[in-house]
């Protein structure tokens, strides 16, 4: 990126777009405050439980990544205080260069998935409240979709930025292309489907060895 491109990026994305995004993130709370005050509803309790569950999974995935990066750089299997991150990493994992165990065996970005899910759930609080306005129906207006703005903008941002970071990661780690073929970017339910597709094409064993194999010499790029 040239100095001019960096300054343009800094002006429009960092200085302007991110401030707009921060403003949008407050919309669910605003809509909730504007509605009549009522006791907690069943939807509030269910959504709150889902939010806490999502945060627990995000905390776990971040700790698993931290545990992996610590082992990768030091070669020491340090004990993690969070029980969900106590994975016995191997030299093969470090050689591969990126985590493919724990939650990372099901999603290439489980922490990003949880982050997006968190904002989606927050957007649903005012929509499912007992005194919420009716769901959007034709003819649609822009204001009807404002409660969903945080979720839509966050998911769009995460998707585009993740594609960019993965293009960089693919250049650093030869086996990452196999990881992309084997494990879904975000939604874990797609990972078994990718595995089934590879099984049908006769490539599953080779790809699984690159992604999950525990041999010390991890060779990448042969699946291309």
Cα distance from N-terminal residue to C-terminal residue, the chain: 29
Q: Map residue 72 onto helix, strand or coil.
A: helix
Burial class from Cβ neighbours inside 10 Å (0-12, 13-18, 19+) for residue 139 reads exposed
pLDDT score of 156 = 85
Give the pLDDT score at 93: 96
Asked if residue 172 has pLDDT above 70, the reply is: yes
pLDDT at 65: 97
The pTM of the full predicted model, rounded to 2 decimals, is 0.81
Q: Which residue has the higher pLDDT, 78 or 179?
A: 179
Higher pLDDT, 190 or 79: 190
Domain ranges for the chain: 7-132+144-212
Mean pLDDT over each residue of the chain, to the nearest integer: 85
Q: Which has the higher per-residue pLDDT, 137 or 38? A: 38
**Better-scored residue on pLDDT, 217 or 80:** 80
* pLDDT tens sequence across 5-59: 777 877 777 777 777 777 877 777 777 777 676 778 898 899 999 999 999 999 9
Which residues make Cβ contacts (< 8 Å) with residue 42, sequence separation at least 6?
none
> CA geometry: angle at 117 spanning 179 and 155, to 5°?
75
The residues near 147 (Cβ < 8 Å, ≥ 6 apart) are 27, 28, 31, 123, 126, 127
pLDDT higher for 157 or 86?
A: 86
């Amino acid at each position: 990126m040239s100095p001019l491109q960096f300054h343009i990026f800094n002006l429009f994305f960092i200085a302007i777009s991110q401030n707009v995004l921060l403003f949008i993130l407050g919309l669910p709370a605003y809509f909730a405050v504007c509605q009549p005050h009522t006791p907690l509803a069943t939807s509030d309790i269910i959504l709150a439980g889902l939010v806490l569950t999502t945060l627990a999974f995000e905390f776990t995935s971040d700790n698993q990544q931290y545990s992996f990066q610590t082992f990768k750089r030091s070669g020491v299997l340090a004990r993690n205080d969070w029980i969900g991150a106590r994975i016995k990493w191997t030299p093969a994992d470090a050689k591969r260069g990126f985590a493919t165990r724990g939650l990372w065996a099901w999603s290439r970005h489980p922490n990003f998935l949880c982050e997006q899910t968190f904002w989606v759930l927050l957007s649903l609080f005012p929509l499912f409240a007992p005194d919420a306005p009716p769901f959007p129906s034709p003819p649609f207006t822009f204001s009807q979709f404002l409660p969903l703005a945080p979720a839509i903008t966050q998911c769009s941002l995460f998707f585009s930025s993740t594609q960019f970071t993965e293009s960089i990661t693919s250049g650093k780690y030869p086996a990452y292309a196999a990881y992309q073929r084997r494990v879904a970017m975000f939604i874990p339910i797609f990972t078994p489907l990718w595995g089934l597709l590879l099984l049908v094409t006769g490539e599953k064993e080779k790809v699984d060895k690159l992604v999950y194999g525990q041999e010390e010499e991890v060779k990448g790029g042969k699946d291309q």
